[in-house]
Amino acid sequence: MSAATVSDGRRRRRARPGALLRTAPAALLVLAALAGPLLAAEPVDKPVTAPYGEAGADALLGGDQLGRDVLSRLLHGGGALIAGALTVAAVVTLLATLLGCFAAVSPRTGRLVERAADTAILLPPVLGIMLLALAWPGGGRLAITVAAIVLGTPYAVRIVAGAAAPLAATGFVEAAVASGERVGHLALREILPNLRATVLALFGLRFVDAVYVISMAGFLQLGPQPPEADWALMIRENAPGILLNPWAVVAPALAIGLLAIGVNLATDALAPAAARKAALR
C-alpha cells in the first residue's frame, strides 16, 4: 500500500478542483483576524454604550458587559489566538515529524513513543492546562502555548510514526539499511520526504486542536486576563447578558467556530484522503 500512496502524493501535486474554494474561508478569516486591530473603530477598553447595549449605528454589534464596543473587541480578539494556534501547530508538527520518523526506523524510540502517547491520553487537555497554569503563576498566553505543545506532541508523534511505519518496511529503506545507512539518513532523507501529505494533514489538525485548547483556556480565564480582548474570554464574560445583547456572545462564538471549521475543511481539501485518514488515527 505504502508505495502506491507515496507516489500518488507526488502525482497529485495539482490541487483538486474546489480545493481553492474550500481553503478560502479559513484564509480570509485568518487575514481578517490578523488585520482586525487596524480596522477597529473604538479602543478595546473604553465604554461606548450602556452595559449590554443593543446593536445600533454607533456600535454595530452592541456593547458588552461594561458597554465596550463588541465589534472592535471582536476585531482585536482573534490575532493572538490565531498566532498562538499557529505557533503550537508548527512546533508540534515539527517535533512530531522528526520524532515520528526516528520512531519508525528505531524500534526502541518507537516503543517509547507508544508508551508516552498511552500515558498522555490519561490526562484530559483541560486538566493539563489547569495544572500548568497552576504551577506557572502569571504564565499567561505563554504558559498556555507551552501546555498545548506538551499535551499535543505525544499523540502527534504516534500519528507520524504510524504513517512512517509502512515506509520503514519498503524495499528502498530495507536496501538502505542493508547497505549500512545510519538511522539519521534513513529517518530524514529516505522517510521524511515521503510524508509531505501526512505532515500537511497533521498541521491542519494540530491547528484545529490548538484553537480548541487555547480558546478553552481563554474561556476558563487561564490565559489572557481582562481587560484584554479575546474571543473565548468575551464569551465567558458576556454569557450572563446573552438575553440583553446576544451578539456579545454569539459573534465571538461564531468567529471561533468558523475558524475551526474553516481550517478543518481546508485541511480536508488540501491533504490527500489517505494522509488524512492516517492523521486521524
Cβ closest to other proteins, residue 38 vs residue 243: 243
Cβ closest to other proteins, residue 58 vs residue 118: 118
Q: Which amino acid type is present at position 28?
A: L
CB of 37 to other proteins, least distance (A): 23
Q: Does 145 bind other proteins (CB under 8 A)?
A: no
Check residue 50 and give left, alpha or beta (phi > 0: left; psi -120 to 50: alpha).
beta
Q: What angle do CA 77, 83, 89 make, to 5 degrees?
A: 135
CB of 38 to other proteins, least distance (A): 26
Q: Does 242 bind other proteins (CB under 8 A)?
A: yes
Cα–Cα distance, 19 to 10 (Å, whole number) = 17
Q: Does 226 bind other proteins (CB under 8 A)?
A: no
Q: Does 188 bind other proteins (CB under 8 A)?
A: no
Cα–Cα distance, 130 to 29 (Å, whole number) = 29
Q: Does 250 bind other proteins (CB under 8 A)?
A: yes
Residue 19 burial class via C-beta count within 10 angstroms: exposed 0-12, middle 13-18, buried 19 and up: middle
- Which listed residue (160, 211, 270, 271) binds other proteins by CB under 8 A? 211
Q: Does 7 bind other proteins (CB under 8 A)?
A: yes
Contact between 235 and 215 under an 8 Å Cβ cutoff? The reply is no
CB of 90 to other proteins, least distance (A): 18
Of 71, 66, 86, 68, nearest to 37 by C-alpha is: 71
Q: Does 265 bind other proteins (CB under 8 A)?
A: yes
- Which listed residue (91, 105, 229, 256) binds other proteins by CB under 8 A? 256
